């Protein structure tokens, strides 16, 4: 089957590894990972959380910065016009659904913060953190692939970072949107990879050495 995008030049470049990577994790909060909540208990997301936990353990061992966000609001007045009822019902500071999934959380190491829009970058302190750490490469994990992960990839690209998406560290409600959105951002904004390749990069010394420079 022909690929019209490839035929006209999409996906023709390769993004090389930079010198100072960071892992950014989008919305692996209990609202999306615990079946006690309307949006939780999805197998694809559950698998992505487990794989991301492995990736983060290695990142921390190698001194790679880790930033994680959750979505939460002060009151219904500051909730955007989400077409997702659970957000309006539960996504408020102090609600247990906003807590990070413990499988991926290390509060003594990670930089954790709230966001209010799809992208992990939009009106958050993430860019300041990444600048302070002199990061040039952003590895995006989280959920959902077709929503907040995609928005975060586009913003990471727009800020000039080298962007990598380990596909086994992202998840969605359904495999179709998951695969189609990965394929699309991979043609335009990022390199599609997997957790194993990212862990090999970290362990290979380049990431760890760059943190000490």
Residue 68 has pLDDT above 60, yes or no: yes
- Residues with Cβ < 8 Å from 102, sequence gap 6 or more? none
CB atoms within 10 A of CB 169: 30
pLDDT of residue 211: 46
| Confidence band of 11 (pLDDT split at 50, 70, 90) | confident
- Which tens digits make up the pLDDT trace of 94-112? 999 999 999 999 999 999 9
Q: What is the mean predicted confidence (pLDDT) over 40-52? A: 97
Distance CA(121)–CA(24), nearest Å, equals 10
pTM listed for this prediction: 0.94
Tell me which residue of 55, 24, 67 sits closest to 202, measured CA to CA. 55
Residue 212 has pLDDT above 50, yes or no: no
Catalytic-labelled residue, pool 62, 69, 143, 148: 148
Mean of the per-residue pLDDT values of the chain = 94
Residue 138 has pLDDT above 90, yes or no: yes
Whether 62 is catalytic is no
Domain annotation for the chain: domains and CATH numbers: 19-212 (3.40.50.850)
Which percentage of the chain shows pLDDT scores above 70?
Answer: 95
pLDDT of residue 2: 55
Residues, the chain, total? 213
């Amino acid at each position: 089957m022909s690929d019209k995008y490839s035929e006209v030049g999409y996906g023709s470049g390769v993004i090389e590894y930079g010198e100072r990577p960071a892992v950014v994790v989008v919305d692996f909060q209990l609202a999306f990972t615990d079946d006690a909540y309307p949006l939780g208990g999805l197998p694809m997301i559950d698998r992505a959380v487990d794989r991301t936990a492995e990736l983060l353990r290695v990142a921390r061992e190698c001194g790679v910065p880790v930033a994680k966000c959750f979505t939460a609001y002060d009151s219904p007045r500051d909730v955007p016009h989400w077409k997702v009822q659970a957000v309006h019902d539960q996504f408020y500071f102090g609600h247990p659904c906003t807590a990070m999934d413990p499988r991926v959380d290390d509060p003594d190491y990670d930089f954790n913060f709230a966001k209010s829009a799809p992208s992990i970058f939009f009106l958050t302190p993430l860019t300041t953190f990444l600048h302070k750490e002199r990061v040039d490469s952003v590895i995006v994990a989280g959920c959902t692939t077709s929503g907040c992960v995609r928005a975060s990839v586009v913003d990471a690209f727009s800020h000039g970072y080298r962007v990598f998406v380990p596909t086994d560290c992202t998840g969605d409600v359904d495999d179709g949107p998951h695969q189609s959105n990965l394929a699309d951002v991979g043609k335009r904004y990022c390199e599609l990879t997997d957790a194993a390749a990212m862990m090999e990069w970290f362990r290979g010394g380049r990431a760890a050495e760059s943190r000490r420079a």
